[in-house]
Amino acid sequence: MKKNNRRDFIKAGVVTGVTMMTTSSHAKSSTPKEIKGPFYPITPHADKDFDLTHVDGQAGVAEGDVVEIMGRVLDTDGNPISGVTVDIWQANAAGRYRHPHDNNDAPLDPFFQGWAIVESGKEGAFRFKTIIPGAYPVMPNWTRPPHIHFKVSKAGYHELVTQMYFPNHPLNEVDHLLQGKSNEEQAMMVAKEVREQVLRYDIVLSQVSSNRM
């Protein structure tokens, strides 16, 4: 029963046709990479916990639609990886990063944390509570759809820098970055709706190859 539940959980992720029992063949593709972009935080944030809707020491809460993102970090054999550093950063609900080089004139939100670093736990699980970021203009004919930047790392695995997208957002269909990916890759980069305000986003890391006897 428990094993079936676990298998169903994996099947509900981004790649199908894989079981926990696979040991040697790399049945899963790793999550596609995406550019890091110019807004990785460079100013200190004391509070980088999993809840981005609230900043320590501030009385207010972030503007925007709250969403919980839960997922697991897996290797390409489908095994969960604990102790992985999952580092995320994103724009606020108005589409503005808390970064000195973001010249978007949308307002900053003093109550939005914007950056979080957590570690995957047992069974590779992690979660964040945040708000859906706003779309923001890049060029006159290009508006980035809501997305969250991820940097995922652990010794022994290739570091993954990517971007997570929100399901069914119309701007996904015309985004120059997301549309540069295959359908299969896009399916791994767009989170899945579990229920209202809860998304699942599983991440697959590839092992650094070693010459095992």
Q: What track of x and - describes contact with Fe ion for positions 128 through 147 (by CB under 5 A)?
A: --------------------
Cα separations in angstroms, 79 against 19, 24, 36, 123: 9, 12, 26, 8
Q: Identify which of residues 76 and 163 has a Cβ nearer to Fe ion in the complex.
A: 163
# residues contacting Fe ion (CB under 5 A):
1
Residue at shortest CB range from Fe ion? 37
Closest to Fe ion by CB, 37 or 41: 37
State whether residue 3 is helix, strand or coil: helix
CB of residue 149 to Fe ion, shortest distance in Å: 6
37 or 121: CB nearest Fe ion:
37
In single-letter form, the type of residue at position 23 comes to: T
Residue (126 or 165) nearer to Fe ion, CB:
165
Three-class SS of residue 167?
Answer: coil
User: Least CB distance from residue 176 to Fe ion, whole Å?
Assistant: 13
185: Cα within 13 Å, side-chain hemisphere: 11
**Quick one: 136 or 157, whose CB is closer to Fe ion?**
136
Which pair of tokens denotes residue 74?
Answer: 């897996």
Residue 10 per-residue DSSP state: H
Interaction mask 26-45, Fe ion, x per CB under 5 A: -----------x--------
Please state, in angstroms and as integers, the Cα–Cα distance from residue 39 to each residue in 101, 114, 206, following that order.
7, 11, 25
Instruction: Tell the smallest beta-carbon distance from residue 37 to Fe ion (Å).
Output: 5
CA 106 to chain centre: 23
User: Where on the chain is the footprint of Fe ion (CB under 5 A)?
Assistant: 37
